[in-house]
Amino acid sequence: GAVVSQHPSRVICKSGTSVKIECRSLDFQATTMFWYRQFPKQSLMLMATSNEGSKATYEQGVEKDKFLINHASLTLSTLTVTSAHPEDSSFYICSARVDRTAYEQYFGPGTRLTVT
Amino acid sequence: AQTVTQSQPEMSVQEAETVTLSCTYDTSESDYYLFWYKQPPSRQMILVIRQEAYKQQNATENRFSVNFQKAAKSFSLKISDSQLGDAAMYFCACFGNEKLTFGTGTRLTIIP
C-alpha cells in the first residue's frame, strides 16, 4: 500500500513554456502533499506544502508565481512550472502523507524536467 | 530552523561486512521523527528505517539498525552483512514542525 505516482517521469520543454507535473496517491487519500526539488548530486529541498482545498505554503526563496501548486482533490496535486527557463531544469519529487497527524511521507518516483 | 548534517559524502564497504553512516541533526522541536532513506540510481526514495524521538529504544529493521543518541543529537545507521543491492545514496532526515529536512547524503559503494 501507500503508493504515490508522478506523471510524467521525464519531460523536455522549450524555454518560456509551461509544464505541469502530476502527483497522485493511488491507494490512499492524502490530505497533505509535498513538493521537493533535487539538483544533480544534491539533497532534496522542500519547495512547498499543499493541503487539499487550500493554498500551498511555499518555502522561503521559492517563487509561488513560477511554481503553481494545486491540490484540488485528496488524491491529486499538480505542480506547474510557468515560463520555464534552463535553470529550472531539475528533478522534482512529490510526497504525500495520509493525514495531518501522520509524520511518515510516501514518495513518488520523481520527474526529470529539462528546459532547452 | 532544522538542520541535518551528514559528514561522509562517500563510504565504501566490502560485501558482507558492516558499515556505519553518520548523521547529526538540530531541531528546536520537542516532538520530531528521524529517518534514513535510500535513493538508488532510479531516484525513488525508499524508507530504510524510522525512529520516533520520544522512544529510547533504537529502531531495527532486519540488517539495518540505528544508534540514536538524543542528547548528542546523533542518529547513525548501521548496515550489517552489506549486500550489493545496498549500494545507493543514503539520506538522513528529520521531520519536525511539519517539515522534512534532509541531509546532504552519503554515497555508499559495496565492494564485491
**Residue bearing the bigger pLDDT, A91 or A102:** A91
Q: How far apart are CA B105 and CA B103, in angstroms?
A: 5
Chain A residues with a Cβ under 8 Å from any Cβ in chain B: 34, 38, 42-46, 49, 91, 93, 95, 103-105, 107, 109-110
Average pLDDT (B46-58) is: 94
Q: Which of B44, B50, B103 sits opposite A107 (nearest CB)?
A: B44
Spacing of C-alpha B5 from chain mean position: 11
Give the model's confidence band at A100: pLDDT under 50 very low, under 70 low, under 90 confident, else very high.
low
Check pLDDT > 80 for residue A102: no
Q: What is the pLDDT of residue A2?
A: 85
Q: What is the pLDDT of residue A103?
A: 78
Chain B partners of A46 at a C-beta cutoff of 8 Å?
99-101
Mean per-residue pLDDT of chain B = 96
B68-107 residues touching A, CB cutoff 8 A: 91, 95, 98-105
Q: What is the pLDDT of residue B16?
A: 98
Chain B partners of A93 at a C-beta cutoff of 8 Å?
43, 45
Closest CA to A107 of A44, A52, A60, A54: A44
Check pLDDT > 80 for residue A101: no
Residue type, position A50, single letter: S
Reported as a single tens digit per residue, the pLDDT across B4-23 is 999 999 999 999 999 999 99
Chain A partners of B100 at a C-beta cutoff of 8 Å?
34, 46, 95, 105
Average pLDDT (B31-35) is: 94
Chain A partners of B23 at a C-beta cutoff of 8 Å?
none
User: What phi and psi, each to the nearest 5 degrees, are found at residue B86?
Assistant: -80, -10
Give the model's confidence band at A1: pLDDT under 50 very low, under 70 low, under 90 confident, else very high.
low
Reported as a single tens digit per residue, the pLDDT across A15-66 is 999 999 999 999 889 889 999 999 888 899 999 999 888 889 999 999 999 9
Would the CB atoms of B44 and A49 count as touching at under 8 Å? no
Does residue A80 contact residue A56 with C-beta atoms inside 8 Å?
A: no
**End-to-end Cα distance, chain B:** 41
Q: What is the pLDDT of residue B72?
A: 96
